[in-house]
Structure 1
Amino acid sequence: MTTQHHGTRLPAFHRTWWKAPFAASVLGLPVLAMEYSVVRDHDGMGEYGGLIYSALALFALSWALPHRRALRTLRVLAAGAAVGITVLPVALLGLLSLMLAA
């Protein structure tokens, strides 16, 4: 008599799951730390604190998602949104300084 196991298989882990969160963290976390220190030194968090905390939550979400291939798109979107939220104020500040210098 042969025993057969017909249980459900666990989803396969994605081998390169860490690449998108790592690239986003390398680009975004130093900028986010700089923004946080500048904002804390001047007027406190205020309305700008929501951007900082939401970017930090998106960075954490991109690392904390399960390492399955099906969640790769969500992980890349979370990491990209975190970098976008982090870099947007710095980019707008640079654009404003270029406009005022001209």
Structure 2
Amino acid sequence: MPQNAVRTDSPARGTAHPTWWRAPLVATLAGLPFLVLEFHWFRSQDGLGSLGGIFYWSSGLLALAWVLPRRRSLRTPRMLISGAGLGCVMLPVLFALALGMAMSSG
């Protein structure tokens, strides 16, 4: 075999995850409109306030789901991080809905 020949059976090729992008894409597409809504909602109230940490955590978790290495062994952590990011995005919205329902039922 010549020295400059390219090997197609390299171990790195077998460990690449071909659909690594699905979990971050689903979480981002579902959470991004709510993330923008929350940002405008928080900014209209003179800053992020007490829920600002949730905004930063959700943004950070969604970004981390995209930048994880594309190995098959990181499929589960990528899904968990995407789900946690989506959960953090939805937390203020669900809290506001629950608070509105509690106030209207009294």
Do these two structures clear the TM 0.5 threshold for a shared fold by scoring above it? Answer: yes
Alignment partner of 1:32 out of 11, 31, 35: 35
Q: Which amino acid aligns with 2:65?
A: S
TM-score w.r.t. the length of structure 2 is 0.83
SS of residue paired to 1:66? coil
Greater per-residue helix proportion? 2
C-alpha distance in structure 2 between counterparts of 1:50 and 1:29, whole Å? 17
What TM-score, normalized by structure 1, do the two folds share?
Answer: 0.86
Identity of aligned residues (%): 41
SS at match of 1:47: helix
User: Alignment partner of 1:34: what SS?
Assistant: helix
**Counterpart residue number, 2:60:** 57
Q: Unaligned regions of 5+ residues in structure 2, if any?
A: 1-9
CA distance in 1, matches of 2:82, 2:73: 16
Match of 1:89 in 2: 92
Q: CA RMSD in A?
A: 1.6
**Between Structure 1 and Structure 2, how many residues are aligned?**
96
